[in-house]
Structure 1
């Protein structure tokens, strides 16, 4: 954190996930250890080797029917997440200076569902029959732009598209905009809809997905020796970030403070993580330095934990490198065990889960952790939620291409924490 950077707090949460829609429902589902993985219903999967995913059951009636026809599902879910976050924050953008409010909502694939539908139209009926709304529906910045249009936001807005780090990158970018004085309020997060024939088929032929079709609720099992791949999901997550003085002035409820953000690149392989977690370690160290915290001051990590053999191992090795002697006392869980992996949405949804863990003093579990890998030297929160108040928590996101991001949240305190001497 720059020495004179403004403090940034979280005042609203808008999760749209396979285990629940809205902050309260989502939080309760985590603590109950509920799985949102089930057979896919959005299209016929009988010819696919993988037939399970995390589908979202969301009421989209708050969107105008005409508007919905011109929005890909990923943008619809993002709009719902933004609406829920604003409601949770008790914040009406119409009461704010529109030039001081922005949006930064990412998507790793954008409107792929619309693209696949319109590609079939083009190939079967000719290119002149393609929808004139195809481009604005499929562009990855559609979610950010639609949210800004809906609420009249004229501040700085952008959209990240960095595979599985997308949501975390968006939140980190929004943090910087507020810290540096470009905005006072940011709506930020990620949204992705991955349940399309092309995406399911592509990940399937890569052998990246779990094939536990007959046991879907137990398919996503991060850190378990029986893990056999991740489970695709759809969803969205939007958080309201505010400059502390702005939040205090309106008497906002403050969930937590966002004090650190770190990024790095493995520069190793296009799909495999660095085997020793080199890049992941660097991202976490940079988040700690940004927040001016020492490793022992972090009590919980919401891991990227996708349930792949290589990815989970690399992440735990990275945690051990960063946290050293503190690692065996570091509580770690992966909420992807319940939600599945929503790529660009996951970093935002897991940031929400991390904030809720800090605020409530209860850590969410990794479910399906029946046979923990014995080589992992961290304190895995297995199968049941754990009452444990921590002062600081990390949320990790790692992506194809070797991209890494880490967000560091702290329990909110009115007075600035005394800096401990960590390099900024």
Structure 2
């Protein structure tokens, strides 16, 4: 019989949610604060970005300078998740794998290393430079920090990488290779190369006020809010979780991914393949609501509109947390899952903030927090390069 996959812990560090308690408070209140930067943009125009502001404690100390920022963010969130789960990693009955996702990797550190190398500053190049820019430093750092030597993988696709890391973990859990998994995603790309690249695509809201920038489901938004962060989950087979009497916060009931098969430079605007992956996880079921990836960038938001229309006939309520946290690339999917898990625990459905629904007035969009329980949620994610991902999350 197929093993059910339980979530026994989670942690987060994103703009306006630098731990689970803060994210919960701001999901309920709608309070937010973003940063305006002019040092990253062409001609010094303003750009609203989302930054993690709080110190990282021990991880800010000298001995961890060898780690890229994404690894520090990830370790911080996974520490929170492990504390919540009360999982004993040294228990001989526990076999653990590490599965992490990232979209951009250590791009910020790579930009710094390129400056040094292009300036022939060999002496200034740190000995540990390769580890700062290597994508697998993400999962490797987690393994080293928690002193684990089992399966350790870093998934690097696109904005779906966090959910795809979860998918990999689920496969290993269900085939019995492991009984617990440390899973997550991290990205931190508030740098010039990222801003210039997505700026060329007209995907970033240059010279737009924070109130309208990155507003989900609004055709007035000029693009998404580039943000950083990390999110982590502790997954276990239901058998293992119940044997140790762990609190179960929800289940990864179904998960699926695919690719549009169109182009490295975008995605299918018709959303046909995205609808297929949604259909696979739903298997004919109807969720209480769906937590969409809508981020204030027209190509993505229009696909979510198509899913709502063609799969649910605009009859299932939907929401987006991107108005609160911005778009932290691979972290988006896991953060959406965590927002819904908090909703399970505290009996509310998170709303979409900072939107006027211009052009999307027909959607059954949740714009006021619903203080009611939910038990079944659809999570969607898709992005540049054509990968699509979907999760059916259940309370019991």
- Give the TM interval when normalised to the shorter protein: over 0.9
Shift, 1:47, TM fit: 3.5
Matches within 5 A, 1:109-124: 109-124=104-119
Match of 1:183 in 2: 178
Is 2:220 aligned against 1:226? yes
2:317 to 327, 331, 338: 331
Is 2:13 aligned against 1:29? no
Match of 1:171 in 2: 166
Shift, 1:49, TM fit: 3.5
TM-score of the aligned structures, taking structure 2 as reference length: 0.94
Is 2:181 aligned against 1:197? no
Q: Is the 8 A contact 1:263 1:286 kept in 2?
A: no
Match of 1:80 in 2: 76
CA distance change for structure 1 residues 251 and 82 in 2, over 3 Å: closer, same or farther?
A: same
Match of 2:249 in 1: 255
Match of 2:48 in 1: 52
1:370 to 356, 361, 377: 356
Match of 1:18 in 2: 15
CA distance in 2, matches of 1:73, 1:217: 28
Which stretches of structure 1, 4 residues or more, deviate above 6 A after TM superposition? none
- RMSD across aligned positions (CA): 2.0
TM-score of the aligned structures, taking structure 1 as reference length: 0.88
**1:266-290 deviation per Cα after TM superposition (whole angstroms, max 9, x unaligned):** 123434432221121011112223x
Match of 1:422 in 2: none
Q: Is the 8 A contact 1:103 1:144 kept in 2?
A: yes
Question: 349-358 or 81-90: which moved more?
Answer: 349-358
CA distance in 2, matches of 1:364, 1:90: 27
CA distance in 2, matches of 1:183, 1:217: 45
Matches within 5 A, 1:54-73: 54-63=50-59, 65-73=61-69
Q: Is the 8 A contact 2:68 2:131 kept in 1?
A: no
2:309 to 296, 320, 327: 320
Is 2:148 aligned against 1:153? yes
**1:103-136 deviation per Cα after TM superposition (whole angstroms, max 9, x unaligned):** 1011111111111111111111344643221221
The runs of 5 or more residues in structure 2 that have no matched partner are none
Q: Is the 8 A contact 1:107 1:141 kept in 2?
A: no
Partner secondary structure for residue 362 of structure 1: coil
**1:373-423 deviation per Cα after TM superposition (whole angstroms, max 9, x unaligned):** 3464x42011x31123222101111021111000111012xxxxxxxxxxx
Equivalent residue pairs, number: 396
**1:53-85 deviation per Cα after TM superposition (whole angstroms, max 9, x unaligned):** 000123211327233210111111011111111
The runs of 5 or more residues in structure 1 that have no matched partner are 413-424
Shift, 1:195, TM fit: 0.6
CA distance in 2, matches of 1:271, 1:209: 16
2:337 to 314, 335, 351: 351
